[in-house]
Structure 1
Amino acid sequence: MPDMTSSPELRTERLIIRDWTTDDAEAALRIYGAEEVARWLTPEMRAVTDVEAMRSVLHAWVEAQPNFLPPAGRWAIVRRRDGDLIGGLSLRLLPPFEEDFELNWQLRPDAWGNGYATEAGGAIIGWAFEQGIEELFAVARPKNTRAVATARRLGMEWVGETEKYYNNRLQVFRIRPSDIAGRAR
């Protein structure tokens, strides 16, 4: 797996995980503007309603990316076979104390059910652990059954519920490097 600190792309069997560009605005709008996706976004990331608003969001993400210390960042998920941008994922510090790293993912609804979130998430988890992170978390609203199922497919362990993050009741999942090592045996 390439080191993303020296290479902007991470490749899996079916996907390319790369930095966002402002040219991705139309494709990104099909993700972040979709009601089925937007209903589960964090409070600071509301549904995006038009291409120019999406371009502004992407501009902010592009500008912020070089300032993140690995493994933090935001990336686009592109399907290798056709170059179609189908999703996004990020690693970031969870509010309010910014001590726990969160993995989150969003896919365009017509890309759901193909294992793309699990494939991209697994690649980023592996890369993050190569950067020295000791654990990653995913949080999901209890009714977001797709996110909960993806966290479980990623090998993340349910550790409970909390209102600590985003002032919402959330299911919390965690994965550590030893969880991956244990599966490899």
Structure 2
Amino acid sequence: MKQFMLSVVGSCGYEEKTAWGKEIGWIYGSVTEDILTGFKMHCTGWRSIYRMPVRPAFKGLAPINLSDRLHQVLRWALGSVEIFFSRHCPLRYGWSGGRLKLLQRLAYINTIVYPFTSLPLVAYCTLPAICLLTGKFIIPMLSNLAAVWFLCLFLSIITTSVLEIRWSGVSIEELWRNKQFWVIGGGSAHLFLSCFKDS
């Protein structure tokens, strides 16, 4: 019986021609319906737990080359930008019930604003090249206090990366590869969506 129930739930056909999904807050018709569904369910008071069974419950497909990966990143970024401009934006939606914890809201906000990080990323990558080519240093000198704030911010980013490595068991090589791809995605797919979303 348990195997039958798992196959029924795993097939996702158990809710066809029913209102079950809409009753508990399922969101349909979005590229990133998983984020929207989780957000709406948390706003209505549902709780979630992290479950990592020894035997995987579901297996998915992962992109095998850069082209497929960029297509996937573009789709995810499109969904995030879509949520940002929708009525379900975590910056505006669900404040009245007070059921969403602050860290949950910040996590959902993070999922919708990351495509916009491409704009400062492109500036960060191109400004040094412009300075080298023109021979002009266009960034003003920092005061001692500003330098201390910058150093604290930089160290906090490094500390966060080190903690992520320790908690997740990811190797430094894999983290470095992920950072490289973040720059590639930020300079292409995310940038395209941030600049040309309405066109």
Which range, TM-score by smaller chain?
A: under 0.3
Bigger RCO of structures 1 and 2 (CA < 8 A, at least 6 apart): 2
Q: For the pair shown, which has the larger CA radius of gyration, 1 or 2?
A: 2
TM-score (norm 2): 0.27
TM-score for both structures, normalised by structure 1: 0.28
Which structure shows the bigger proportion of residues in helix conformation? 2
